[in-house]
Amino acid sequence: MNSPSKIIVGSAEWLTLPSLNVPAIKARVDSGAKTSSLHAFNIQSFKRNGETWVHFDVHPIQKNRKTTVRCEAKVTDRRIIKSSNGEREKRYVIRTTMELAGENQSIDITLSNRDNMGYRMLLGREAMQGRMLVDPSEELCHGDRSPEQITALYGNPEPKLEGLNIGLLASNPDLYSNQRIIEAGEQRGHHMHFLNIKHCYLKMDAEHPEVLSRGGKSLNNMDAVIPRIRPSVTFYGCALTRHFESLGKFALNTSDSISQSRDKLFSMQLMLKKGLDIPTSGFANSPMDTHDLIEMVGGAPLIVKLLEGTQGRGVVLAETKKAAESVINAFKSLNANLLVQEFVKEAQGKDLRCFVIDGKVVAAIERTAAAGEFRANIHQGGTASIVKITREERTLAVKAAKCFGLQVAGVDIIRSRKGPLLLEVNSSPGLEGIETATGKDIAGLMIQAIEKRLGWKPTAPNT
Ligand SMILES: Nc1ncnc2c1ncn2[C@@H]1O[C@H](COP(=O)(O)OP(=O)(O)OP(=O)(O)O)[C@@H](O)[C@H]1O
Ligand SMILES: [Mg+2]
Ligand SMILES: [Mg+2]
């Protein structure tokens, strides 16, 4: 069995991919994977002498997004790959030479657009069969590479002087929030593009997928997009965002996170599932259950919410049981979906808006309803002021954003006798109220979240 001609490899090894001009790449040895894979981006197919080729970029060094190698290879196949989390994805397959322990061999590699546990390459069992034996307790059996050696091989990359191409996917360029995002991006040296959601369209094609803007301009050169999708265009805006994501572009809030948080009922169920508290709520189909619903949330006074409402419209306070019954049944007769919720009276018309970016609360305000009003929405005449939030509230806000996978979120919390309760999570929180009240550059922090994710560093001196 143990043929002496086989090479022993550990759990990770340095390889060379000479035809791709990759002099050194640390691969994770993964006999659980069939085919080897390479983390590639900007993957673009093209025709050469009637054959399909791809060019793509690789960051060959772990935790380094500055060193980029541009590669080109003939496509030998397109394959459905099932990743370890069960997701299926169609990927390009290329054949290339791999050098390990002084031996060359030809292997198939799929081009994956995700990082594999921080490794830029996975060496699958297809490439190892008949040639290698794995000793999982060892690592780098064929030598390590020092940072100095890596620098000698790749040279010192020039810092990227050029700003990023950032697309703001939104509807109204005159909106305070949109203007601020464009301004903050430009201030930090980026090329900001206002992309009107309704003026963008997409091409679904296996070889050359694309997002375009009216007139036929390709938007495939965007490095990142910031979706600011108003509720009326959720479906279309999420479709565009999803397309950008599948092109390997970074979306500050993914289409999945946006659509999940937009569905009020679903989002409440998800928050509860993650152990995050909300005011007790009920949802029913038939008016025959109205009475039970009212009892369930502790009787009147109670809140009735239309699932489709925004900015405080469609949120009603029913002071008495009679009023509650009439409101619920009236909405029902209009075929509206509604939920019934316990009224948090002790909040006294106040709620908290916590602005979360990249897992941190970067600003918080307290909104106070106008006199005679229980809804704290600014659109309903509410006023905003700075507030110090508790550690518990901070944690709750961060967890709420995380449970949807939102990198930017406006988390609304109401202070109840039982402690802080989540009201809702917004994927396109407005900037005006919070920037004005706190004086913080929230738009700038959103841009910085993109820079961080893309490993972009501003050049001195205007950091
Ligand atoms: N259960 C409740 N008890 C007391 N006040 C509430 C309750 N639910 C909502 N409110 C008040 O009403 C306001 C509006 O409610 P909510 O945020 O649920 O709806 P909305 O703002 O219309 O929704 P959206 O932000 O999605 O447009 C809240 O900001 C809060 O001040
Ligand atoms: Mg609200
Ligand atoms: Mg909302």
**Ligand with the closest atom to the CA of 310:** 1
Residue 380 Cα to ligand 1 middle (Å)? 11
Residue 143 Cα to ligand 1 middle (Å)? 61
Question: What tokens were used for 460?
Answer: 């001195």
Asked whether the ipTM of the predicted complex exceeds the cut of 0.85, the reply is yes
pLDDT at 45: 84
Does 147 score more than 50 pLDDT? yes
Please give all residues whose beta carbon lies within 6 A of any atom in ligand 1, as ranges: 279, 303, 305, 309-312, 314-315, 341-344, 347, 351, 374-377, 412, 414, 423-424, 426
Reported as half-sphere exposure (CB side, CA atoms, 13 A), residue 302 has a value of 30
- The dihedral formed by the CA atoms of 328, 333, 337 and 340, expressed in degrees to the nearest 10: 10
Q: Which of 187, 198, 38 is nearest to 123 (CA)?
A: 38
Q: 407-462 pLDDT, tens per residue? A: 999 999 999 999 999 999 999 999 999 999 999 999 999 999 999 999 898 765 44
The protein residue with its alpha carbon nearest to ligand 1, atom 1, reads: 343
Q: Which of 271, 377, 380, 404 to mutate to test the pocket of ligand 1 (most atoms within 8 A of CB)?
A: 377
The protein residue with its alpha carbon nearest to ligand 1, atom 27, reads: 310
pLDDT at 463: 37
Residue 368 Cα to ligand 2 middle (Å)? 12
Q: 24-60 pLDDT, tens per residue? A: 999 999 988 899 999 888 788 888 899 999 988 898 9
The protein residue with its alpha carbon nearest to ligand 1, atom 14, reads: 312
Ligand 1 atom having least distance to the Cα of 309: 22
Does 393 score more than 60 pLDDT? yes
Residue 69 Cα to ligand 3 middle (Å)? 43
Backbone angles phi, psi at 415, to 5 degrees: -90, 115
Q: 346-377 pLDDT, tens per residue? A: 999 999 999 999 999 999 999 999 999 999 99
List own/partner pairs for 154-158 with CB under 8 A and 24 or more apart.
154/23, 154/60, 154/61, 154/67, 154/69, 157/66, 157/67, 157/68
Q: 228-268 pLDDT, tens per residue? A: 999 999 999 999 999 999 998 999 999 999 999 999 999 99
Backbone angles phi, psi at 135, to 5 degrees: -110, 95
Ligand 1 atom having least distance to the Cα of 311: 27
pLDDT band per the 50, 70, 90 thresholds, residue 161? low
Q: Name the average pLDDT for the chain.
A: 91
Q: Which of 315, 316, 342, 348 to mutate to test the pocket of ligand 1 (most atoms within 8 A of CB)?
A: 315
Residue 43 Cα to ligand 3 middle (Å)? 36
**Ligand with the closest atom to the CA of 344:** 1
Handedness of CA 424, 428, 433, 435 (dihedral sign): positive
**Ligand with the closest atom to the CA of 307:** 1
Say if CB 73 and CB 54 are below 8 A apart.
yes
What is the pTM (predicted TM-score) of this model? 0.74
Does 300 score more than 50 pLDDT? yes
Please report, rounded to a whole number, the percentage of residues in the chain having pLDDT higher than 70.
Answer: 95
Residue 7 Cα to ligand 3 middle (Å)? 58
The protein residue with its alpha carbon nearest to ligand 1, atom 16, reads: 312
Residue 341 Cα to ligand 2 middle (Å)? 14
Q: 190-242 pLDDT, tens per residue? A: 999 999 999 999 999 887 889 999 999 999 999 999 999 999 999 999 999 99
pLDDT at 80: 86
98 vs 57, residue with greater confidence: 98
Residue 149 Cα to ligand 1 middle (Å)? 59
The protein residue with its alpha carbon nearest to ligand 1, atom 26, reads: 310
**Domains within the chain, CATH numbers bracketed:** 7-154 (2.40.70.10), 165-260 (3.40.50.20), 280-343 (3.30.1490.20), 346-450 (3.30.470.20)
Residue 425 Cα to ligand 3 middle (Å)? 6
pLDDT band per the 50, 70, 90 thresholds, residue 341? very high
pLDDT at 87: 75
Say if CB 415 and CB 350 are below 8 A apart.
yes
